[in-house]
Amino acid sequence: MYIPGVTKVADLPNDVETKEHYKAEQKQRHQELMIRKYKRLRDGAVDPVDRQRYNARVKDWSAKHEEFLKDHPYLRKNPKRLAPEYTGNVELSFNTGYIANNMKLGVGENKYKEGEIVHIDWPDRNKYPIHDSKDIEKMYIFAEEHGFSLRHIEGYRGDYESIKESLNVAKSVLDYFPEMGNKPIVLRLGNKMKSADFALTETNGTIFLNADAFRDRFTLAKEYSAAVDDKKFVENTTFTGILCHELGHRFALLHPEIDYLSLAKDVVNDINLDYNGDVIDFVFENLSQYSASFDDGREIISECFSGYFGGSGNLFALKYIEKLVKIL
């Protein structure tokens, strides 16, 4: 889960012009991605009607792209990036720290907005006392034993159960991918996060759990399963999948060399050889709606982590993790 807008873009250059250029470049990358995508779909289409339809999309996006380049003459053109077979790493938002800022800026086409939860009323923080220093100390140690470096919980009002349960499951992820636990993972409780965002991973790898959401284990469990009922998250997962999900993003930050979208395509082929639709549509139906949030597939690995380590039995998640382990 990520929060466009909430996370400050403090680690981007401050200079307004640089920021503008950065955003324009991101937009350019996205347009190139869409052009390649529809070229590939067009070239692979068997049905002439499909072929025509995809070709129209290629033309639309190309026209839009040309226009954009005219308006932004400082952007560098590279015709290679428009070739359907181009697999430059820029395609994925996780690939470099810089491009990963994408996740914060919310660049990318969000296809399935209508399924989005807009607001959740979490319990009032003032109803919960601050923990005493002994408890706080114990909580720090508990996190440390599970591979996490918890930060600044002195002022946190809420129960520890939701966090402890999450850490217990997260530990199994770190056991599975030991290199992920080489250094303790910084974990923080975020205040003032958007109510419907359960957690987020910063590009520097810090994971934030939404303090409002984790304050009360019962409410968190209830709200999460309501989202599962809406097919937003992977079937049969519980709220402990939230931290697993974020660890999926962390994994992607750790391994920028992997093409996570191609991996998803391989899984689709494995599951359904005859499927020739869009991989994003496939995960929407077969993994979770949230996993289809972005055309670049950035939420697929995280939802697979949630599904697999959350013990959902989801076939897509299982195959995805299997393939991931093989290419490591």
Residues that bind Zn ion (CB under 5 A): 1, 299, 302
Long-range contacts of 9-13 (CB under 8 A, 24+ apart): 9/101, 9/104, 9/105, 11/101, 11/203, 11/204, 12/101
End-to-end distance of the chain based on CA atoms, in angstroms?
24
CB of 11 to Zn ion, least distance (A): 19
State in angstroms the smallest separation of the CB of 306 from Zn ion: 9
Q: From the centroid of its chain, how far is CA 218? A: 25
Task: Name the residue nearer to Zn ion (CB basis): 158 or 248.
Answer: 248
DSSP state of 313: -
Tell me whether residue 289 or residue 302 sits nearer to Zn ion (CB atom).
302
Give the strand pairing for 199-201 and 185-190.
Answer: unpaired
Of 216 and 299, CB closest to Zn ion: 299
Residue 233 Cβ vs Zn ion, minimum distance, rounded to whole Å: 10
Q: To the nearest whole angstrom, how small is the minimum distance from the Cβ of residue 299 to Zn ion?
A: 5
**3-class state of residue 58 by DSSP:** helix
Nearest distance in Å: CB 320, Zn ion: 15
One-letter identity of residue 217: R
In the block, which residue shows the tokens 């930060």?
Answer: 151
> Nearer to Zn ion by C-beta: 32 or 299?
299
DSSP per-residue codes, 173-220? HHHHSGGGGSSPEEEEEESS--TT--EEE-TTS-EEEEHHHHS-HHHH
Query: Of the two residues 101 and 302, which places its CB atom closer to Zn ion in the complex?
Result: 302
Whether the CB-CB separation of 100 and 298 falls below 8 Å is answered with no
The continuous run of DSSP H or E covering 171 comes out as helix 161-176
Instruction: Please say which residue, 1 or 209, places its beta carbon nearer to Zn ion.
Output: 1
Q: Which is nearer to Zn ion, 41 or 247 (CB)?
A: 247
Instruction: Name the residue among 219, 212, 194 with its Cα closest to residue 156.
Output: 212
Closest distance of CB 2 from Zn ion, Å: 5
For the CB of residue 73, give the shortest distance to Zn ion in the complex, in Å. Answer: 35
